[in-house]
Homo-oligomer: A and B are copies of this chain.
Amino acid sequence: MKNQDAVTALAALAQEHRLAVFRMLVRAGPEGMSAGAISDKLSLPASSMSFHLSHLNRSGLITQRREGRSLIYAADFDRMNALLAYLVEDCCQGKPEVCAPMAEAVSRAACCTPATAKRKKERA
């Protein structure tokens, strides 16, 4: 990922409504949601939401596909992973006590990373 790509992606996320949309789509997973459903859920006029969705789409963080009359938006997980990786790249000059919590924080927050999945399996 290039510096400019990261700036574009971060700018796309640096807005109240767009951040809310993106997080909702992260939770929704690959199936995504229609523009209308997103507008309804976040109570924003269609034209404003369209502006934000197009912004996120141009940044590469979400994808767009048509299903009948609806346009379905979904988070682009590869792109998000590339952004996260770019932010922490080569961190802290080899001090594990600084780096380690990063991966842990991500694992803990995401619902089903290997560690989380393993724990769920053991409980079952």
Contact = CB atoms under 8 A, between A and B. Distances in A.
A109 to B, nearest CB: 4
Contact of A109 (B13, B90, B98): B90
Number of copies: 2
B113 A23 contact: no
Contacts of A90: 26-27, 109-111
A112 B87 contact: no
Q: Tell me the dominant secondary structure on chain A's binding face.
A: helix
Chain A contact-residue range equals 35 or more
Contacts of A115: 103
A73 B91 CA distance: 15
Contacts of A114: 96, 100, 103
